[in-house]
Amino acid sequence: MILNVDLSSEVPLYQQLRDRIVEAIAEGVLTEGSPLPPIRALAADFGINFHTVNKAYDLLRQQGLIRLNRKTGAVVTSTIADSAFREDWTARARTLLSEAVARGLPADEVLTTCRSLLASFGTSQPEDTP
């Protein structure tokens, strides 16, 4: 998996790392059981601080996306979205969609973008329940 971070972006590095890993899980590049490099090795490969990678991994662990183990290192886990996550995610989606509406994007275009993005994540992901 390629992790690309943008140093000139306003998004903090740990957040970018976390986002890229979540996207890789959605795209099916990372599946349940896929190993991630040890924190120290990843920090050295990026030439960034150990704590930045540690923070990203910690976020992913809190969100139940990876499991940190002293022996096996970081491994991707599968989680089922609970009601708390659904509420939180809906709130964030609301903000993101509001931005589109506020900037005058037509609803059709927003929906088309959402559909094509979801489709790009591949067939390995569960379809939305009717």
Partner 1 sequence: MIVAIAVSSALSVLVLALALVLPSLNSPTVPFGVRVPAQRAADPTVVRQTRTYRLRVLGSGILAAGFGIVMFSVTGEPLLLPMSVLLIVGAWYGCFFLANHEIRAAKAAGGWYEGMRQGIAVDTELRTDPPRFPWLWLAPAPIIMVATVVIGAIRYPSMPTTLNLHYGANGVPDRMAAKSVAAAFSLVFVQVGITALLAFIAAAVFRSRPDLDPAHPVASARWYRRYLSLSAKALLGLAAMIDLAMLGASLLMWTGTITPWAPLVVALPILTAVVVAVVVLARNNRERADGDPDTGLTHRDDDRYWHGGLFYLNREDHALLVPRRFGLGWTLNLGNPRTAILLAGVLAIIGLLITLRFSA
Q: Which residues bind partner 1 (CB under 8 A)?
A: 1-9, 34-38, 40-48
- Nearest residue (CB) to partner 1, 41 versus 81: 41
Nearer to partner 1, 28 or 106 (CB): 28
Q: In whole angstroms, give the CA distance from residue 123 to residue 127.
A: 8
CA dist., res. 62 & res. 123, Å (int): 26
User: What's the closest the beta carbon of residue 84 comes to partner 1, in angstroms?
Assistant: 30
Element housing 86 (H / E): helix 83-102
Is 91 buried (19+), middle (13-18) or exposed (0-12) by CB count in 10 A? exposed
Which residue lies nearer to partner 1 by CB, 47 or 130?
A: 47
Q: Tell me how far, at minimum, the Cβ of 5 lies from partner 1, in Å.
A: 5
From the CB of 18, what's the least distance to partner 1, in Å?
14
